[in-house]
Amino acid sequence: MIYLDNFRSTMVAPEVWEAMRTAAIDEYAVPAAFTKCGTGAAELIERAQNRLAAAIGGSQNEVVFTGSGTEAINIALRGSTWAQAVDKPEIVTSEIEYPATLAVCRALEKEGYRAHYIKVDGEGKYDLDQLSSVLNEHTAMVSLMSVNHMIGTIEPLAEAGAIIAEASQHVGRRIPYHVDFASALQTQRLDVDAVKADLVSFSSNKIHGPKGVGALYVRKGTKIRPITFGSESYSPLVPGTPNTMGIAGFDKAVELLYATFDKDVEHMQSLTNRLATGIRERIPYILLNGPDGAGRAASHLCYSFLFIEGEAIMMFLDMDQIVVDTGSACAAATLKPNYILMAIGRNHEQAHGSIRFTLSRYNTEADVDTVLAKLVPIVERLRAQSTIKPPAE
Amino acid sequence: MAIKYTAKVIEHFKNPHNIGVIENPDACATEGSPACGDEITVYLKIDKATDRIEDVKFQSYGCASNIATGSIITDLAKGKTIDEAEAITWKQAADELGGLPPVKMHCSVLAVDGLRSAIRKYKKEVKGIDYDSTLDVKTVTEELKHVLWPPVGVDIITLKMVKYIGIDLGAVRVEVSIGSDDKFLNPTIDEIVEHVSKIRGVKSVNVENV
């Protein structure tokens, strides 16, 4: 199988699996004081907190582990907005966020919060002027993402952070700034101080760690309330027994990520370049969704193949053991074209014909060449069958 | 629950029968549009003495389910009289394919509509039988039987989701009952408008969720 759907989830690295096995079988105690096994489990969590915190410029106590990236987003958005004592509270996000962020914002809207959804340009970049214009004394929270999962756009987080910091000064209160870093962790480095982020969410399964683990960075001093309650854990934000097996796996995944980070990013970039060149040279009538070159994540490509429908392309590739994703309405449970592709100005037909290729450090040049060899005839064949023809014909 | 295609759907998707164009067809019709997801064109060659379908071909801008249904209905139609072929239902097509996921049933409906439209065009243009319906509650009800509720793949009339149909000088009002935050609400309203709009005499369609 050639797996090019790594922005959805990734293979668990063998070393990660081994670390999880050890944590499950040999280090299964609950974190506790004094006893050897209890302190061993506590140290496992501290080690993982330290490693992630060090990588992003934070400190150990600023990192908590959650049950998923989605849970981290829920704690960040709900917990911080609820903690703000603001009259007629408003929240700010963009129209192209991850579904979890949009779902929490819609839930908050139902609770009476006013939500602003920042628009994006044709490459998916935030309209920062609009961001400046909507921040005011009612703003309870801002949530933005680092890399867009559908179109690979690297967003101007630091510029947004500076705008939020300025607005915070103006209103005399820190407006909490949450950054969704789940899709970015694989290819982007983060310095929480440079970005001026108060909250950052992460997901383990996007970097060859297990599913069912995420993390949340909470800057010291950030006003936040727990959204779930239970027995005391190492942090009131995440009550209950910690998932030490999952945390051990996530920790190993983070260790592996940074051990070969630059080399892996370069490797993935060279593979996406090879794939992009092959597609551009061999398939006419295509559109790249999202920016070209440096403005996009190294492992990410998303093309619309005009005159044909993405689910059909995806199914043909699947029969050749190649896994990709599509923004076609036909592949969506709601039968609607992908909202991010529509937000950057694609029409229905262009969105239906989209295929997303997201690579990992485990992919090879041979994978890319196989994908090209299979993809070209699939597109030609579906175009020959299609009711829609290129304008020249 | 995992949404999967049957082996038969995959087989017809991989190697669709009757794909292509008939030059100088006796009738041809296109149903759907890229905006609604799928589009299919059906071409017919008909023996005018016997009204039997000699050859049938189709083209599809569509997903696996649409291509597979196009393949199976053209198989079913070939050699049949136009009346027999017109009576082929989308349920028959789906059954022949060993079933379709409920959410994909509308793709199957579209393919059957394509075949039916081509036959009706032939009947109108060649045989002089005007099938164009008059605008009344019955016609709208019949048309709404082609709008499926995606979670179960059953039409909204059978599911009693349509509460009222009103017609006033070409303006059609359809009242449905769907949860206001149901993710299928807006796509279903769009589909109702698309279907009702194509009935002759309709000037506007207003769908209200009550």
* Domain ranges across chain A: 14-259, 261-385
Could you tell me the pLDDT band of residue B187, with boundaries at 50, 70 and 90?
A: confident
In 3-state terms, what secondary structure has residue A296?
Answer: strand
Q: What is the pLDDT of residue B131?
A: 62
Could you tell me the pLDDT band of residue B151, with boundaries at 50, 70 and 90?
A: confident
Token pair in block for residue A130: 């609009």
Distance, CA of A5 to CA of A209 (rounded, Å) = 15
Contact criterion met (CB < 8 Å) for B13 and A312: yes
To the nearest 10 degrees (0 to 180), the angle between helices B137-144 and B185-197 is 130
Instruction: Collect all residues of chain B within an 8 Å Cβ-Cβ radius of residue A386.
Output: 59-61
Token pair in block for residue B99: 């079933």
- For B7-125, CATH gives 3.90.1010.10
Distance, CA of B208 to CA of B210 (rounded, Å) = 6
Contact criterion met (CB < 8 Å) for A309 and B38: yes
Q: What is the mean pLDDT of residues B126-151?
A: 83
Which residue among B104, B107, B184 places its CB closest to the CB of A334?
B184
CATH architecture of A14-259: 3-Layer(aba) Sandwich (3.40)
Contact criterion met (CB < 8 Å) for A315 and B150: no
* Domain ranges across chain B: 7-125, 137-209
Contact criterion met (CB < 8 Å) for A334 and B61: no
Q: What is the pLDDT of residue B90?
A: 83
pLDDT digits (tens, 9 = 90+) for A82-119: 999 899 999 999 999 999 999 999 999 999 999 999 99
Distance from CA of A190 to the nearest CA of B (A): 35
- Of chain A, the end-to-end C-alpha distance in Å amounts to 37
**pLDDT averaged over every residue in chain A:** 96
Reply yes or no on whether the pLDDT at A375 is more than 90. Answer: yes
Up-side HSE of residue B162: CA atoms within 13 Å toward CB? 27
Q: What is the mean pLDDT of residues A356-384?
A: 98
Could you tell me the pLDDT band of residue B171, with boundaries at 50, 70 and 90?
A: confident
Reply yes or no on whether the pLDDT at B46 is more than 60. Answer: yes
Distance from CA of B10 to the nearest CA of A (A): 9
Size of interface A-B (CB pairs under 8 A): 77
CB of A155 within 8 A of CB of A126? yes
Distance from CA of A317 to the nearest CA of B (A): 11
Contact criterion met (CB < 8 Å) for B63 and A387: no
CB of A252 within 8 A of CB of A15? yes
In 3-state terms, what secondary structure has residue A305?
Answer: strand
- pTM attached to this predicted model: 0.91
What is the side-by-side strand order in the sheet with B204-209?
B162-168, B171-176, B204-209
More confident: A293 or A4: A4
- With vertex at residue A275, the alpha carbon angle to CA A271 and CA A277, rounded to the nearest 5 degrees, is 115
| Catalytic, out of A37, A105, A302, A330 | A330
Which CATH code of 1.20.120.450, 3.40.250.10, 3.90.1150.10, 3.40.50.10330 fits the domain covering A261-385? 3.90.1150.10
Interface residues from chain B to A (CB-CB < 8 Å): 5, 10, 13-14, 16, 19-20, 30, 34-41, 59-67, 103-104, 106-107, 150, 183-184, 186-187
Reply yes or no on whether the pLDDT at A393 is more than 60. Answer: no
Please identify every residue of B annotated as catalytic.
36, 107
Spatial neighbors of A177 by CB under 8 A, at least 6 apart, are A141, A142, A143, A144, A160, A161, A164, A196, A197, A198, A199
Percent of chain A with pLDDT over 70: 99
Q: What is the mean pLDDT of residues A364-381?
A: 98
Token pair in block for residue B4: 């999967």
Which CATH code of 3.30.300.130, 2.30.30.100, 3.40.50.1970, 3.30.390.30 fits the domain covering B137-209? 3.30.300.130
Contact criterion met (CB < 8 Å) for B59 and A385: yes
Q: What is the mean pLDDT of residues A19-44?
A: 92
Token pair in block for residue A253: 């995944």
CB of A275 within 8 A of CB of A371? yes
Q: What is the pLDDT of residue A341?
A: 96
Contact criterion met (CB < 8 Å) for A309 and B10: no
CB of B30 within 8 A of CB of B70? no
pLDDT digits (tens, 9 = 90+) for A204-253: 999 999 999 999 999 999 999 999 999 978 899 999 999 999 999 999 99
Q: Which residues of A272-309 are buried (b: 16+ CB within 10 A; e: fewer)?
A: bebbbebbeeebeebebbbbeeeebbbbbbbbbbbbbb
Up-side HSE of residue A274: CA atoms within 13 Å toward CB? 18
Q: What is the pLDDT of residue B198?
A: 85
Give the strand pairing for A177-180 and A139-145: parallel
Q: What is the mean pLDDT of residues B156-166?
A: 90
Q: Which ranges of B4-154 would DSSP assign to H, the alpha helix?
A: 7-14, 64-77, 82-86, 90-96, 105-125, 137-144
- Give this complex's ipTM: 0.88
Could you tell me the pLDDT band of residue B105, with boundaries at 50, 70 and 90?
A: confident
Q: Can you tell me which residue has the tokens 């969105």?
A: A351
Interface test with A, best of B61, B100, B147, B190 (most A CBs within 10 A): B61
Q: What is the pLDDT of residue B21?
A: 96
Q: Can you tell me which residue has the tokens 């890229």?
A: B34
